[in-house]
C-alpha cells in the first residue's frame, strides 16, 4: 500500500510511505507529523473528518493519496475564495472508523474507561449501528405524535360540525313554524315590505359578518406578531457575541494545552519505560551480587545496588504520579472542550432560529397590511350600501304592520341572522364527509406508524442484547489470550462489569494498564463482530503491555486488518515492516 501526503496538518512537504501487509512500526520524534499522518489515513475511511480539519492553515492546497490493490483513493483539497473545495474518493465512509481504527489516549472510549466510567451503551449502539434504528424509531415516534394530535383536532372539528348542523335544523323548524304563523296574520303588502327590508338588511349583515371575520383575523395576526417579536427578543438575549468569542478563544487555548500536555505525557511514558528497564537490571545485579556495572563495565561495590534501586524507585514513583496528574489534566481539558463545543452549537442553533423567526415576522407584517386594506374596503361598501337603502326608504315610506306581525318578522330576522352565522362557521370548518374520510385515513396511518414504532423498539432491544452477548463472548476469550486474571461482561443496563476471582471490582480501582486493556477489548470485539477495516493504527503510548502481550496483540490484529501500524515516539525516524508470519518469531 502506497501513501502520499502533502500540506496536511503538520506535514508541509510531499511525504510518501510504502507499507507492506503485516505490522509496521513507525518511529519519529514528537511534532514530526505522526498525528497528521494518522488523521490523514483515517480521513479516507470517514467524511466526518472535514477538509478544514485536514488542510494546513497556511497552505492553498493539499492531498492525501492511498494506492492499494491497484485502486487509488484520495482527498484533494483546495482553498478558494469563500472556503475550501474538495475532490475525494474514499475507501469507505463510515463514522465508526473514528472509534475503531485508531487506538490512542485521544480515543473517546479510552478516555472514558480510564476515567472509570463503565457506561458503554453509546459505544455498542454506535459501533453496531443500532443507533440508526433508535434514531429512526424516535423520528417515527415524533411523526406518530403529530398524527395523533392532528387526528384529535379533526375529531373535535367533526363534533363541532355535527353540533352546528343540529342547531341549524332547530332554527329551520322554528322559522318554518313562524312563517306559517305570519302568513295567517299578514297581508301581501306587509309580506312584500318585509321581503324588501330583509333583503336590504341581509346585504348589510353579510358585509358586517365579513368585517367581523377580518377583524378577528387581524387580531390573531397581531397577537402572533407580538408573540414572535417577544420570542426573537428572548432568543437574542441568549446569544451574546462576546460570550461566543470568549468560548472560541478558550477552545483554541484548550486545543493548544491538549497538544502540549499530550506531548509531555508521551515523553514521560518513554522515560518511565526506560527507568523500569534500568530498575530491572539493577535488581538483577543486586540479586546476583555483581561487582561489575552492566552499563559502563567498571567495578562497583555490590552493596551499592540496593541504594541505586531505591533512588530509581523513588524517581519512578515521582514520574508515575506526574503522569497520572497529566492524564487527569487531559481528561479535564477534553471534558471542557466538549462542553464548549456544545455551547457553540447551541449558539448556532439559536442564530438559525432567530433568522427563521424574523422571516416569519416579515410575512406576518405583510399579511396584516393586506387584511387592514380588506377591512377598509368592506367598511366603505357598508357605508355606501346603508346610504342607498336610507334614500330608498325615504322615497317609499314605511308600511305599517300589526304588532304581532312585527314581532314575528323580528324573530324570523334574528333566526336567519343566527343561521347565517352558523353557515359561515360550517364553511370555515369544512365538509363533514371529507373530514370523516380524513379521520379514517388518519386512524389507519396512526395504526401503521404505531406498529412500525413497536417493531423498531423490539428490533433495537434485540440487536442491543445480541451485541452485548457477542461482546461477553469475545471479551473473555481475549482476556484469556492476553493472560489477564480477570473477567469482563456488559450487564443488562449496558455497564461494563469486571470480576476477579468471582468478585466485582470497581473499574476505578483497576490499574491504568487494565483499564486500557478493557477499552482495547471493547474495540477489538466491535472490530471482530461489526466492522472491517483495511488498516488499524495503535499508538504505543496508549499501551502498557509487556513485550509478550504486545506481540500477541499485534498477531491478533493482523487477523482483523491487513495493515497494522504502530506509532512510537523516538529521537530517530525509522519505519520497519514485519509480515504477519514473523510476529510470533519476534516475541
Write down the CATH superfamily of domain 1-101+534-587.
P-loop containing nucleotide triphosphate hydrolases (3.40.50.300)
DSSP letter string, 372-438: HHHHHHHHHHHHHHHHHHHHHHHHH-PPP--HHHHHHHHHHHHHHHHHHHHHHHHHHH--HHHHHHH
Please enumerate in sequence order all residues whose Cβ is within 8 A of that of 517, keeping only pairs 6 or more positions apart, or say none: 479, 482, 484, 545
Q: Please give the Cα distance from 456 to 133 (Å, whole number).
A: 7
Q: Please give the Cα distance from 181 to 172 (Å, whole number).
A: 14
Segments of the chain scoring below 50 in pLDDT: 397-400, 583-587
* Helical segments of 186-292, H only: 188-238, 241-287
The β-bridge relationship of strands 496-500 and 563-569 is unpaired
- pTM for the full predicted model: 0.50
DSSP 8-class letter at 485 = S
Quick one: which of 115, 147, 228 has its CA closest to 507? 115
| Whole-number average pLDDT of the chain | 85
pLDDT of residue 400: 45
Quick one: which of 369, 368, 380, 373 has its CA closest to 207? 380
Q: Is 319 exposed, middle or buried (0-12, 13-18, 19+ CB in 10 A)?
A: middle
Q: In CATH, what class is 241-368?
A: mainly alpha
Please enumerate in sequence order all residues whose Cβ is within 8 A of that of 371, keeping only pairs 6 or more positions apart, or say none: 214, 217, 218, 221
Q: Please give the Cα distance from 69 to 19 (Å, whole number).
A: 12
Q: Please give the Cα distance from 138 to 423 (Å, whole number).
A: 42
pLDDT of residue 295: 60
pLDDT of residue 587: 36
pLDDT, one tens digit per residue, over 245-294 is 898 898 899 999 999 999 998 898 898 898 888 888 888 888 887 777 76
Quick one: which of 527, 471, 464 has its CA closest to 497? 471
Are the beta carbons of 539 and 104 closer than 8 angstroms?
yes
Q: Quick one: CA torsion of 557, 563, 564, 568, rounded to 10 degrees?
A: 180
Q: Please give the Cα distance from 63 to 65 (Å, whole number).
A: 7
Can you say how many angstroms the Cα of residue 283 is from the centroid of all Cα atoms in its chain?
54
Q: Please give the Cα distance from 534 to 556 (Å, whole number).
A: 14
Taking CA atoms, 35 is separated from 266, 327, 505, in Å, by: 13, 18, 35
DSSP letter string, 69-102: TTEEEEEEEEEETTEEEEEEE-S---TTHHHHSE
Buried b (16+ CB within 10 A) or exposed e, 246-273: ebeeebeebeeebeebbebbbebbbebe
DSSP 8-class letter at 52 = G
Q: Please give the Cα distance from 587 to 580 (Å, whole number).
A: 12
Report residue 565 as a C-alpha cell: 501500524
Report residue 179 as a C-alpha cell: 312563517
Q: Is 506 exposed, middle or buried (0-12, 13-18, 19+ CB in 10 A)?
A: exposed
pLDDT of residue 220: 92
Are the beta carbons of 412 and 401 closer than 8 angstroms?
no
Q: For residue 569, how many other CB atoms are within 10 A of its CB?
A: 19
Q: Please give the Cα distance from 294 to 283 (Å, whole number).
A: 12
Q: Please give the Cα distance from 19 to 21 (Å, whole number).
A: 7
Report residue 143 as a C-alpha cell: 411523526
pLDDT, one tens digit per residue, over 405-433 is 778 888 888 888 888 888 887 777 777 77
Helix, strand, coil % (nearest 5) of the chain? 70, 15, 20
In angstroms, how far apart are the furthest CA atoms of the chain?
A: 146
| Domain range annotation of the chain | 1-101+534-587, 142-237+370-452, 241-368
DSSP 8-class letter at 537 = E
- 241-368 has the same fold as 1-101+534-587: no
Q: Please give the Cα distance from 159 to 152 (Å, whole number).
A: 11
Q: Please give the Cα distance from 206 to 196 (Å, whole number).
A: 15
Quick one: which of 21, 11, 167, 41 has its CA closest to 104? 41
Are the beta carbons of 148 and 460 closer than 8 angstroms?
no
Residue with cell 503522569: 323
Please enumerate in sequence order all residues whose Cβ is within 8 A of that of 356, keeping only pairs 6 or more positions apart, or say none: none
Amino acid at each position: 500500500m502506497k501513501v502520499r501526503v502533502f500540506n496536511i496538518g503538520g506535514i508541509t512537504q510531499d511525504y510518501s510511505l510504502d507499507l507492506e501487509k503485516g505490522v509496521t512500526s513507525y518511529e519519529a520524534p514528537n511534532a514530526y507529523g505522526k498525528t497528521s499522518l494518522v488523521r490523514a489515513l483515517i480521513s479516507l475511511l470517514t467524511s466526518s473528518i472535514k477538509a478544514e480539519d485536514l488542510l494546513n492553515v497556511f497552505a492553498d492546497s493539499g492531498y492525501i493519496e492511498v494506492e492499494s490493490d491497484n485502486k487509488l483513493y484520495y482527498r484533494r483539497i483546495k482553498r478558494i475564495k469563500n472556503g475550501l473545495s474538495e475532490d475525494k474518493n474514499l475507501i469507505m465512509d463510515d463514522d465508526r472508523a473514528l472509534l475503531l481504527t485508531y487506538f490512542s489516549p485521544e480515543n473517546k472510549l479510552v478516555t472514558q474507561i480510564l476515567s472509570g466510567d463503565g457506561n458503554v451503551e453509546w459505544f455498542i449502539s454506535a459501533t453496531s449501528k443500532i443507533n440508526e434504528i433508535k434514531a429512526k424509531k424516535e423520528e417515527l415516534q415524533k411523526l406518530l405524535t403529530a398524527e395523533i394530535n392532528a387526528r384529535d383536532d379533526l375529531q373535535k372539528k367533526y363534533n363541532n360540525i355535527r353540533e352546528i348542523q343540529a342547531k341549524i335544523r332547530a332554527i329551520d323548524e322554528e322559522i318554518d313554524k313562524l312563517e306559517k304563523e305570519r302568513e295567517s296574520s299578514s297581508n301581501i303588502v306587509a309580506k312584500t315590505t318585509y321581503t324588501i327590508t330583509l333583503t336590504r338588511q341581509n346585504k348589510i349583515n353579510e358585509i358586517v359578518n365579513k368585517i367581523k371575520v377580518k377583524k378577528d383575523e387581524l387580531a390573531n395576526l397581531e397577537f402572533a406578531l407580538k408573540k414572535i417579536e417577544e420570542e426573537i427578543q428572548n432568543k437574542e438575549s441568549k446569544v451574546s457575541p462576546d460570550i461566543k468569542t470568549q468560548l472560541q478563544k478558550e477552545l483554541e487555548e484548550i486545543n493548544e494545552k491538549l497538544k502540549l500536555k499530550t506531548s509531555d505525557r508521551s515523553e514521560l511514558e518513554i522515560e518511565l519505560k526506560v527507568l523500569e528497564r534500568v530498575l530491572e537490571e539493577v535488581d538483577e545485579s543486586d540479586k546476583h551480587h555483581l561487582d561489575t556495572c552492566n552499563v559502563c563495565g567498571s567495578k562497583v561495590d555490590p552493596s551499592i545496588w540496593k541504594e541505586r534501586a531505591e533512588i530509581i524507585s523513588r524517581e519512578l514513583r515521582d514520574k508515575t504520579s506526574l503522569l497520572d496528574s497529566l492524564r487527569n489534566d487531559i481528561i479535564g481539558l477534553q471534558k471542557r472542550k466538549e462542553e464548549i463545543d456544545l455551547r457553540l452549537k447551541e449558539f448556532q442553533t439559536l442564530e438559525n432560529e432567530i433568522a427563521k423567526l424574523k422571516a416569519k415576522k416579515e410575512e406576518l407584517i405583510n399579511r396584516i397590511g393586506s387584511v387592514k386594506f380588506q377591512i377598509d374596503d368592506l367598511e366603505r361598501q357598508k357605508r355606501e350600501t346603508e346610504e342607498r337603502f336610507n334614500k330608498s326608504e325615504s322615497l317609499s315610506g314605511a308600511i305599517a304592520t300589526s304588532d304581532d306581525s312585527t314581532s314575528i318578522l323580528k324573530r324570523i330576522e334574528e333566526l336567519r341572522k343566527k343561521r347565517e352565522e352558523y353557515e359561515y362557521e360550517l364553511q370555515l370548518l369544512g365538509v363533514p364527509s371529507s373530514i370523516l374520510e380524513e379521520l379514517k385515513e388518519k386512524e389507519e396511518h396512526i395504526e401503521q406508524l404505531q406498529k412500525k414504532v413497536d417493531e423498531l423498539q423490539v428490533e433495537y432491544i434485540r440487536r442491543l442484547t445480541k451485541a452485548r452477548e457477542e461482546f461477553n463472548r469475545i471479551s473473555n476469550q481475549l482476556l484469556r489470550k492476553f493472560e489477564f486474571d480477570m473477567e469482563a461482561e456488559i450487564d443488562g443496563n449496558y455497564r461494563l462489569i469486571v470480576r476477579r476471582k468471582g468478585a466485582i471490582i470497581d473499574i476505578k480501582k483497576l490499574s491504568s494498564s487494565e483499564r486500557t486493556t478493557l477499552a482495547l477489548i471493547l474495540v477489538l470485539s466491535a472490530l471482530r463482530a461489526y466492522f472491517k477495516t483495511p488498516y488499524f493504527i495503535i499508538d504505543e503510548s496508549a499501551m502498557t503491555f509487556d513485550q509478550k502481550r504486545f506481540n500477541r496483540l499485534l498477531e491478533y490484529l493482523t487477523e482483523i486488518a491487513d495493515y497494522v501500524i504502530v506509532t512510537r515516539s523516538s529521537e530517530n525516524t525509522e519505519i520497519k515492516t514485519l509480515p504477519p508470519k514473523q510476529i510470533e518469531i519476534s516475541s
